[in-house]
């Protein structure tokens, strides 16, 4: 975060409403950034996570929250956006059906445009490549290549030499380490929704990939799991 000292102090923080992005927001706040949080509604099965994002933005002290809607529903291609594809209980081989094609590229693109408009020089994204589902757009090399592209894409960078830095502070942390950081910063994880099959109240299924990684994280950290489950675990 070398540019912080000379920055405008503004950051766009991608906030999905899950455990990782909430921690990411808490870290950005702890570094003193004025945070503008951004959630993308792209036809997720449930909007419990979008409501959680809005709530967390306020609780964790962001300046404002924006939800951008994009109608990818008709495109299909993922268990998270296509009702005809089941979210599996058991992890399979390779990248799972919950992968949403080019999702992080799309979210970072919207964030890039908004950062340029806001005169923000940081974008925070809570991607993680340790305890994760193997999505290609969560890996450090992907983030680095997006950074290289962003340096050529904006008027801010090309005309004014003002680059927008992509910060992925969780990318090399284990889920347990992420939870430890967040708890130290006062994040209430009961407020976050990670589950791919959360119900309308935001309660988790306890069985999908996202639930498994999350539950194991609390176990590895030796901390009580505050997640609200649909049926007691």
Which residues of this chain interact with a copy of itself, rule CB under 8 A? 66, 68-72, 74-77, 94-95, 99-106, 109-110, 112-114, 116-117, 135-137, 139, 141-142, 145-146, 148-155, 157-159
What is the C-alpha to C-alpha distance for residues 156 and 97, in angstroms, rounded to an integer? 37
In terms of CB distance, is 31 or 139 closer to a copy of itself?
139
Instruction: Give least dist CB 111 to a copy of itself, A.
Output: 9
Under DSSP, the state recorded for 209 is: H
In terms of CB distance, is 10 or 31 closer to a copy of itself?
10
Instruction: Give least dist CB 119 to a copy of itself, A.
Output: 10
Under DSSP, the state recorded for 45 is: S
What is the C-alpha to C-alpha distance for residues 102 and 119, in angstroms, rounded to an integer? 25
Q: In what order do the strands lie in the sheet with 122-124?
A: 34-41, 10-14, 122-124, 165-167
In terms of CB distance, is 112 or 198 closer to a copy of itself?
112
In terms of CB distance, is 134 or 223 closer to a copy of itself?
134
Asked if residue 229 lies in contact with residue 201, where contact means CB atoms within 8 angstroms, the answer is: no
Q: Which of 49, 70, 66 is nearest to 120 (CA)?
A: 66
Count of residues in the chain:
233
CB hemisphere CA count around 199 (13 angstroms) = 10
Instruction: Give least dist CB 16 to a copy of itself, A.
Output: 17
> Using N-to-C axis directions, what is the helix angle for 103-118 and 140-153, rounded to 10°?
40
Q: Which of 88, 33, 84 is nearest to 63 (CA)?
A: 33
Instruction: Give least dist CB 2 to a copy of itself, A.
Output: 22
Instruction: Give least dist CB 221 to a copy of itself, A.
Output: 30
Instruction: Give least dist CB 125 to a copy of itself, A.
Output: 13
In terms of CB distance, is 112 or 178 closer to a copy of itself?
112
In terms of CB distance, is 26 or 143 closer to a copy of itself?
143
């Amino acid at each position: 975060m070398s540019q912080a000292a000379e920055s405008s102090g503004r950051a766009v923080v991608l906030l999905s409403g899950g455990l990782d992005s909430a921690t990411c927001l808490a870290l950005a706040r702890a570094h003193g950034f004025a945070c503008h949080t951004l959630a993308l509604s792209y036809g997720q099965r449930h909007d419990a996570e979008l409501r959680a994002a809005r709530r967390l933005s306020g609780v964790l002290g962001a300046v404002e929250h924006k939800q951008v809607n994009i109608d990818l529903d008709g495109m299909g291609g993922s268990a998270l956006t296509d009702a005809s594809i089941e979210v599996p209980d058991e992890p399979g081989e390779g990248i799972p059906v919950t992968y949403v094609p080019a999702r992080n590229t799309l979210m970072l693109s919207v964030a890039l445009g908004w950062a340029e408009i806001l005169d923000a020089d940081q974008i925070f994204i809570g991607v993680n490549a340790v305890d994760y589902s193997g999505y290609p757009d969560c890996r450090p090399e992907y983030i680095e290549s997006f950074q290289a592209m962003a340096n050529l894409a904006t008027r801010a960078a090309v005309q004014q030499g003002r680059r927008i830095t992509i910060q992925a502070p969780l990318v090399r942390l284990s889920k347990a380490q992420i939870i430890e950081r967040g708890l130290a910063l006062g994040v209430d994880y009961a407020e976050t929704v990670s589950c791919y099959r959360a119900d309308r109240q935001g309660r988790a299924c306890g069985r999908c990939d996202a639930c498994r990684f999350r539950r194991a994280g609390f176990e590895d950290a030796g901390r009580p799991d505050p997640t609200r489950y649909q049926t007691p675990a």
